[in-house]
């Protein structure tokens, strides 16, 4: 630690003293040194966790990047190239569009339904408690189980068409169909429960009194929702939306189970290439993973920028 | 914009509660009047306000605004605005948009709503603060904005729920002055809940004193102090002198002696408690003459307690005990004999039991 740092930690009164007395000041600021050593202790305590997380995250991304650029081939001489990115160019673009579509639809639907559920929950009536209980019960169910359940429920041979007495051939292609309805539905079911609980938690602590105040200023229920409740919930919704988008964009099993074989969303494409017997497929899988990660990071950055623009965050 | 308000046998029993939070409260507030609802914690003050605002439905009784029963009318349609103990400014809106909130939700164009809001910010002496976020305000400024926001809604009745109790004494004095100024300029009907006797005295035209959900007395501030109708009123208003005795032929006889009712007043015959404000008790030297209309009682100083610029004195008169306040500089010592002069007009007799 340099002198400048030490002066920064010294009491305000000591700052007026000239540079020639810095040595004397150093001997007069045991509090500053104690604060400095405490900071080092904190850093030392956090370091192991940061190191492991950094190794996994940055190491993983770094390895994927290096592999996708042809610098870590399974066989042959390493050489810098974009071949892995170009090898499945069409599939990559289609997969990117498909993944963005699924993630966007799932995120928007989850946020709308989740926010509605949160408002119902914070009203505190019996319906609210019922919705809260349903949301809480949804959270622990794994996506894989959810996907299997959705498949059993709404496929053309599923429980729902049978209950409704509709023939499988007349039932729309919800599972494995062109619109990926079952995939979006499964994500929406799980993630709207997540939004509902996160937003209800934020609203519960503050919305009741603001709601009363707004009512007494003449705001109808609809106006209160628009001018008070939704603005208060916005930061929590944005944060939830970022999490949901990144999760659904990078999630594999639901799209694999309930989607159609072609085209493939990015995670399904990446896993198929990773698992392929062709030795050149590994860098191609890494390229898909790198693009998935890059898009996710861009979405996180955009989401955080949006969050900073909300008046509550400022 | 001001409306008259009347409560008719207002009763509220909360679910699971044994005793009612409000027990048949009836009172009226004239248009443009400021009423303070005064009472200790748990007396039902805020319940009255919430019932008037429509936030809680009363168990029975009626609330009349300009003579019309408002039962079943939603809070947003009652034309009331409320300022709570916490300012509750909307954190996602600027100061100006907070004040413009009522106009905005009423569908006024934003520019008009803001121009209107600026007038109310000026009224609470916060011109130039409009563009600030609400987090950039001090506690006193926040409460001023809350008042401006409530007034900008043009309420028929303005409800204040202990709005200044979280502020320090100096700021409270400023806010009291502001409220008086607002009353002069806009003449709104105000119902203010407070537990502070001094605040009620400074701000209100009349005071409704509540205890355990019941209205004890609804009167002017002066009469609450000098003409309490019950022992509980005298005690809640800080009265310290209580002399049990009996009234016969309009004269109360107690350890203090015989004291006749003030001119033009009569006391109920039989047992009664004589109550006098300690502020009315004047301690004079032994040989001093007794002015007209005063009751003179010889006393001995039994105790003296310093209270900053004043001193509280306990005075023994046989078995009876009187209280008085004197300037701290006055050399009255324990054991010293003196004469107290009590104005007859300051004496009141109330029933012996506390109800």
Q: Do A197 and A228 fall into the same domain? A: yes
Q: Which residues in chain B are contacts of A311 at CB distance < 8 A?
A: 91-93, 133
Question: What's the total number of domains in chain A?
Answer: 2
Q: Do A165 and A28 fall into the same domain? A: no
Q: Which residues in chain B are contacts of A228 at CB distance < 8 A?
A: 90
Q: Which domains does chain B have, with CATH numbers?
A: 5-226 (3.40.50.300), 242-350 (2.40.50.140)
Q: Which residues in chain A are contacts of B106 at CB distance < 8 A?
A: 218
Percentage, residues of chain B above pLDDT 70: 99
Q: Does B76 touch chain A (CB under 8 A)?
A: yes
Q: Do A142 and A287 fall into the same domain? A: yes
CA distance linking residue B55 with residue B47, whole number of Å = 9
Report which of A300, A183, A305 is spatially closest to residue A243, judged by C-alpha positions: A300
Neighbouring residues of A131: CB distance < 8 A, sequence distance ≥ 6: A117, A120, A121, A196
Q: Does B53 touch chain A (CB under 8 A)?
A: yes
Asked if the Cβ–Cβ distance from B105 to A219 is below 8 Å, we say: yes
Domain of A41, in residue numbers: 20-68
Asked if the Cβ–Cβ distance from B80 to A217 is below 8 Å, we say: no
Residue A303, domain member (yes or no) = yes
| pLDDT above 60: residue A216 | yes
CA distance linking residue B296 with residue B257, whole number of Å = 10
What three-state secondary structure class fits B208? strand
Asked if the Cβ–Cβ distance from B102 to A227 is below 8 Å, we say: no
Among the partner residues B84, B91, B101, nearest to A217 by beta-carbon distance = B101
Q: Do A42 and A102 fall into the same domain? A: no
Asked if the Cβ–Cβ distance from B90 to A231 is below 8 Å, we say: yes
**Contact between residue B191 and residue B157 where contact means Cβ atoms under 8 Å apart:** yes
Q: Do A261 and A127 fall into the same domain? A: yes
Task: Please write the tens of the pLDDT for every residue from B337-352.
Answer: 999 999 999 999 999 8
Asked if the Cβ–Cβ distance from A312 to B92 is below 8 Å, we say: yes
pLDDT value at residue A22: 41
pTM: 0.82
| pLDDT above 80: residue A6 | no
Q: Do A62 and A95 fall into the same domain? A: no
Give the CATH number for residue A134: 1.10.3720.10
Q: Do A60 and A99 fall into the same domain? A: no
pLDDT value at residue A21: 40
Q: Do A167 and A302 fall into the same domain? A: yes
Q: Do A131 and A219 fall into the same domain? A: yes
Residue A7, domain member (yes or no) = no
Q: Which residues in chain A are contacts of B88 at CB distance < 8 A?
A: 209-210, 213
Asked if the Cβ–Cβ distance from B90 to A214 is below 8 Å, we say: yes
Listed residues A9, A38, A68: the one ending a domain: A68
Residue A90, domain member (yes or no) = yes
Task: Please write the tens of the pLDDT for every residue from B51-65.
Answer: 999 999 999 999 999
CA distance linking residue B141 with residue B147, whole number of Å = 10
| pLDDT above 60: residue B42 | yes
Task: Give B124 to chain A, closest Cα distance, Å.
Answer: 18
pLDDT value at residue A38: 86
**Contact between residue A115 and residue A237 where contact means Cβ atoms under 8 Å apart:** yes
DSSP structure string for B246-264: EEETTEEEETTEEEEPPTT
CA distance linking residue A168 with residue A171, whole number of Å = 5
- pLDDT confidence bin for B1, thresholds 50/70/90: low
- To the nearest whole number, what is the mean pLDDT of chain A? 88
Asked if the Cβ–Cβ distance from B101 to A219 is below 8 Å, we say: yes
Residues of A engaging B, defined by a Cβ cutoff of 8 Å: 209-210, 212-220, 223-224, 227-228, 231-232, 234, 310-312, 314
Q: Do A156 and A222 fall into the same domain? A: yes
Residue A122, domain member (yes or no) = yes
Task: Please write the tens of the pLDDT for every residue from B269-319.
Answer: 999 999 999 999 999 988 888 888 899 999 999 999 999 999 999 999 988
What is the ipTM for the molecules in this complex? 0.86
A20-39 average pLDDT score? 61
Edge-to-edge, what's the strand order for the sheet holding B80-83?
B80-83, B157-161, B189-194, B34-38, B206-211, B214-220
pLDDT value at residue A292: 96
Residue A252, domain member (yes or no) = yes
Among the partner residues A218, A224, A234, nearest to B106 by beta-carbon distance = A218
Which two tokens mark A250? 């990078």
Q: Do A54 and A191 fall into the same domain? A: no
Percentage, residues of chain A above pLDDT 70: 89
Task: Please write the tens of the pLDDT for every residue from A127-175.
Answer: 889 999 999 999 999 999 999 999 999 999 999 999 999 998 999 999 9
Q: Does B153 touch chain A (CB under 8 A)?
A: yes
Q: Do A63 and A201 fall into the same domain? A: no
């Amino acid at each position: 630690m340099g002198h400048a740092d030490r002066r920064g930690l010294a009491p305000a009164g000591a700052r007026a003293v000239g540079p020639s007395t810095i040595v004397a000041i150093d001997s007069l600021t045991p509090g500053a040194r104690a604060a400095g050593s405490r900071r080092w202790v904190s850093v030392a305590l956090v370091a192991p966790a940061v190191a492991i997380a950094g190794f996994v995250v940055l190491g993983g991304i770094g390895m994927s990047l290096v592999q996708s650029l042809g610098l870590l081939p399974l066989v042959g001489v390493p050489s810098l190239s974009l071949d892995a990115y170009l090898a499945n160019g069409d599939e990559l673009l289609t997969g990117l569009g498909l993944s963005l579509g699924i993630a966007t639809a799932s995120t928007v639907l989850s946020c709308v339904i989740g926010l509605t559920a949160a408002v119902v929950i914070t009203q505190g009536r019996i319906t609210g408690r019922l919705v809260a209980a349903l949301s809480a019960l949804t959270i622990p169910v794994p996506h894989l189980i959810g996907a299997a359940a959705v498949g059993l429920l709404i496929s053309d041979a599923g429980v729902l068409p049978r209950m409704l007495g509709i023939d499988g051939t007349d039932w729309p292609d919800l599972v494995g169909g062109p619109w990926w309805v079952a995939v979006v539905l499964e994500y929406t079911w799980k993630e709207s429960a997540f939004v509902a609980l996160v937003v209800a938690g934020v609203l519960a602590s503050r919305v009741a009194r603001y709601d009363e105040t707004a009512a007494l200023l003449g705001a109808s229920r609809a106006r209160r929702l628009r001018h008070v409740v939704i603005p208060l919930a916005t930061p929590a919704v944005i944060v939830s939306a970022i999490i949901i988008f990144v999760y659904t964009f990078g999630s594999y099993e639901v799209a694999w189970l309930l989607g159609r074989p072609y085209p493939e969303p990015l995670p399904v494409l990446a896993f198929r290439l990773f698992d392929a017997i062709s030795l050149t497929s590994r860098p191609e899988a890494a390229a898909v993973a790198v693009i998935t990660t890059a898009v996710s990071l861009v979405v996180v950055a955009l989401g955080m920028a949006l969050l900073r623009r909300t008046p509550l965050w400022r | 914009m001001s409306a008259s308000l009347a409560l008719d046998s207002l009763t509220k029993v909360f679910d699971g509660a044994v005793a009612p939070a409000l027990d048949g409260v009836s009172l009226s507030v004239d248009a443009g009047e400021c009423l303070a609802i005064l009472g200790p914690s748990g007396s039902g003050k805020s319940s009255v306000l919430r019932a008037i605002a429509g936030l809680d439905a009363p168990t029975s009784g009626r609330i009349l605004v300009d003579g019309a029963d408002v039962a079943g009318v939603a809070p947003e349609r009652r034309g009331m605005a409320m300022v709570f103990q916490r300012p509750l400014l909307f954190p996602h809106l600027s100061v100006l948009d907070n004040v413009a909130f009522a106009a905005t939700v009423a569908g006024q164009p934003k520019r008009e709503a803001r121009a209107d809001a600026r007038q109310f910010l000026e009224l609470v002496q916060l011109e130039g603060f409009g563009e600030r976020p609400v987090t950039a305000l001090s506690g006193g400024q926040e409460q001023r904005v809350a008042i401006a926001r409530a007034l900008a809604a043009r309420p028929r009745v303005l409800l204040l729920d202990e709005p200044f109790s979280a502020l320090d004494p100096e700021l409270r004095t400023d806010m009291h002055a502001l409220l008086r100024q607002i009353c002069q300029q806009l003449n709104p009907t105000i119902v203010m809940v407070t537990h502070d006797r001094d605040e009620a005295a400074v701000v209100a035209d009349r005071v409704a004193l509540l205890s355990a959900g019941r209205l004890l007395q609804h009167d002017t501030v002066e009469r609450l102090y000098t003409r309490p109708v019950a022992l509980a009123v005298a005690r809640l208003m800080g009265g310290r002198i209580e002399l049990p005795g009996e009234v016969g032929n309009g004269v109360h006889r107690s350890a203090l002696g015989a004291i006749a009712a003030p001119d033009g007043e009569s006391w109920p015959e039989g047992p009664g408690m004589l109550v006098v404000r300690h502020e009315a008790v004047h301690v004079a030297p032994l040989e001093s003459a007794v002015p007209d209309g005063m009751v003179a009682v010889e006393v001995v100083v039994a105790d003296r307690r310093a209270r900053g610029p004043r001193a509280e004195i306990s005075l023994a008169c046989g078995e009876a005990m009187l209280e008085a306040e004197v300037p701290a500089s006055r050399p009255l010592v324990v054991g010293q004999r003196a004469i107290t002069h009590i104005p007859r007009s300051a004496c009141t007799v109330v029933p012996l039991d506390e109800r």
